[in-house]
Structure 1
């Protein structure tokens, strides 16, 4: 069983899309194996996105991710990373395929509703950043 990680970002929570996002994942045969809502501090967001520290969008991204609550999810299933990324759509919602989460709900490239791991390595880092071993099923 493959594992991946996803976040409903503050804009998705604010737009009441938590259930919609989870439903789209579940309807594709994925399982939400761990779930929590939390409000990141700026420092916690910086730690999570440390891989992007040198990028010009790092400060605005970490500020945005600490503006309101998020929903963190450990997702399991066959080809979980691939399926989640397909359901999310391209990072830039203008390039996202019709019917994807970002095409349907995003308002700009940063406020794009969801985050998803892009590799098994990033998934394991992201899962362990948010969930202890006791919380992982």
Structure 2
């Protein structure tokens, strides 16, 4: 996945890998409950060249998370890089 991002000309300015504990995942994704449960499968058909379509396996292992609102971007970055890191 990283190679694909770099090959497309993007720069990765920060990177952290970890497995989310169930409680953290439930907290973070609570607002998305019931929203298009089969999105990775739909993404493969609608946009076959996207990271989610290329690397996502199912609704749990969907490869990537992208904020749905630009104004939430900073909060979500802080959640992963500050809150979960402490």
5+ residue gaps, structure 2: none
Which residue of 50, 61, 77 maps to 2:30?
50
The structure-2 alpha-carbon separation of the partners of 1:26 and 1:44, relative to structure 1 and needing over 3 Å to count, comes to same
Whole-angstrom distance in 1 between the partners of 2:26 and 2:66: 17
The corresponding residue for 2:73 is: 123
Matches within 5 A, 1:56-95: 56=34, 91=40, 92-95=42-45
* Cα distance, 1:105–1:37 mapped onto 2, change above 3 Å: closer
Aligned with residue 63 of structure 2, among 88, 93, 113: 113
Query: How far 1:131 moved relative to its partner?
Result: 1.1
Shift of 1:43: 1.2
Flag the structure with higher strand content.
Answer: 1
Counterpart position of 1:26: 6
For residues 107 and 43 of structure 1, do their structure 2 counterparts lie closer, same or farther at Cα, with a shift above 3 Å needed?
A: closer
Q: How far did residue 34 of structure 1 move? A: 1.4
CA distance 1:119–1:24, change in 2 (3 Å) = farther
Q: Give the corresponding residue for 2:20.
A: 40
Alignment partners' CA distance in 2, 1:130 and 1:102? 19
Secondary structure at 2:47 match in 1: coil
Q: TM-score, normalised by structure 1?
A: 0.45
Q: What's the Cα RMSD here?
A: 2.8
